[in-house]
Amino acid sequence: NTVLFVDDEPNIISALQRGLAGETYQKFFAVSGREALEIMAENDIHVIVTDMRMPIMNGLTLLKTVAEKYPSTVRIVLSGYAQLPQVLATINQVNVFRFIPKPWNLEEEFIPMIRSAIAFYNMTHEYQDFKAALEKQNMAFQKTIKESETKMRQLKLDWAALDSFKQEVWTYTLSQLSEGHHDELKAPEFSSVLTDIQAFLNEISSAYPKDPTTFNPDQLRTNLSLMAKSIPAIDDETGDRHFQILHDNHHLKLNGRFKLYMIMQHAIVNLLIRHKPLESLKISQIYDTQTKSILLQYEFPNTILATGTWELSIVIFALTEAHKLLPGKFFIQKDGKHLVANSICNCEARL
């Protein structure tokens, strides 16, 4: 702790220096209000003890300045009884902690008073520190609560969207399978369609609750390559599967629902080709900086498609609804002998 003593009488300053030599706090001494303010400008003063009657700048003026610039400094007045009106005015204007009358008893009055002021200063600052720490902790707690509430709301929305998605797909699937012009549909084929759709819905459900993941285009390319290796393929004489994966924007960091995204990409190929051998496949991976979305284009021979238009209709509907969960969209284009399936999903990106 630090204590500043101010008095224009050198003999009083000398007496204080001698009498307080055994005190452990750091002591500063000034013989004028101006010198006192210079000391306070360069040092963190915890307690100031000042005489009232001093030339140029009296004690009241000094303490007013101290109260304004250093409000946490504990203020003590040192004065004779003859200056009592001025002391009372000071107490009323600058919130003085104590008044020490001259002459004083060093051991019984002065030293205990200074120690009391130091203890008050320390207690006040400990309380302020505790209060600040408590407020900071409370803010962190409130932030945690808000984040938890936000997550819970998002979870409810996610699960509601998933339930709605399942209901929409099943309703559409059953409506397609129950139409009268599908009389030629055999029971095993009927069962196979339902099994594929159920497997697709189960895979989508396994990605919930969905959390954002940071990934890059290379990671996406790696996962697409692993997916391509699992697709039944027709090898030519050289054993080349004719699988290509093209991508751009190596420098991007992407953030999105990566697990759900990959499940949907796997489903696009599996549901469209219905596990039949594939002679060629080209996947183009493009990131659109304007729409902040990833576009994956799958190009393969349209001869590999399931022959029934009703079956293709179910697949396209299921994939279109699934892309809304990211959100995004899915559509198919025919290009001569090839069919191009477009999978577009929103995804945050940064350099």
Q: What is the DSSP string of 294-333?
A: EEEEEEEEGGGS-S-HHHHHHHHHHHHHHHTTSSEEEEEE
pLDDT at 316: 87
Q: Give residue 273's pLDDT.
A: 75
Whose CA is closest to 171, among 319, 325, 314, 316?
314
Classify residue 336 as left (phi > 0), alpha (psi -120 to 50) or beta. left
The residues, any chain, with a CB within 8 Å of residue 29's CB and separated by 6 or more, are: 4, 5, 6, 13, 16, 17
Our CA dihedral for 52, 67, 37, 28, rounded to 10 degrees, sits at 70
Q: Where are the alpha helices (DSSP H) in the chain?
A: 10-19, 33-42, 59-69, 84-94, 111-177, 187-206, 217-229, 258-273, 309-323
Distances (CA, A) of 5 to 8, 70, 274, 275: 10, 16, 92, 92
The pairing of strands 213-215 and 253-256 is antiparallel
CA 323 – CA 285 distance, rounded (Å): 16
Choose among 269, 225, 236, 261: nearest CA to 348. 261
Torsion angle, alpha carbons of 22, 23, 28, 33, to 10: -110
Query: Could you tell me if 324 and 344 are in contact, meaning their C-beta atoms sit under 8 angstroms apart?
Result: no
- The predicted pLDDT at position 181 comes to 47
pLDDT at 27: 94
pLDDT recorded at residue 85? 65
Q: What is the pLDDT of residue 47?
A: 94
Provide the token pair at 210: 């969905």
The amino acid sitting at 36 is A
The pLDDT, as a whole number, for residue 214 is 84
Which residue, among 56, 100, 53, 111, has the nearest Cα to 75 in the 3D structure?
100
| Structure-token match 């303490």, residue found | 63
- CA angle at 267 for the pair 262 and 271, rounded to the nearest 5°: 165
Q: What is the pTM of this model?
A: 0.57
Yes or no: say if 74 and 82 are a contact pair by the CB < 8 Å rule.
Answer: no
Which pLDDT does position 260 carry in this prediction? 86
> DSSP 3-state assignment of 31?
coil
Tokens of 135: 């407020």
For each of the chain's 351 residues, which pLDDT tens digit applies? 999 999 998 999 999 999 999 999 999 999 999 999 999 999 999 999 998 888 888 888 899 899 999 999 999 988 765 566 666 666 667 778 888 887 888 888 889 999 999 999 999 888 888 888 888 889 988 888 888 888 888 888 888 999 999 999 999 888 877 765 455 555 566 777 788 888 889 988 888 877 778 888 788 888 888 887 777 766 655 545 566 777 766 677 778 888 888 888 888 887 777 767 777 788 888 887 777 788 888 888 777 665 566 777 888 899 999 998 888 889 888 877 788 888 888 877 766
Calpha distance 30→38 (Å, rounded): 9
Burial of 163 (0-12, 13-18, 19+ CB in 10 A): exposed
Residue 4 and residue 131: Cα distance in Å, rounded? Answer: 27
Q: What are phi and psi of 305, to 5 degrees?
A: -65, 155
Rounded Cα distance, 263 and 247, in Å = 19
> DSSP letter at 157?
H
Q: How many whole angstroms separate alpha carbon 169 and alpha carbon 193?
A: 12
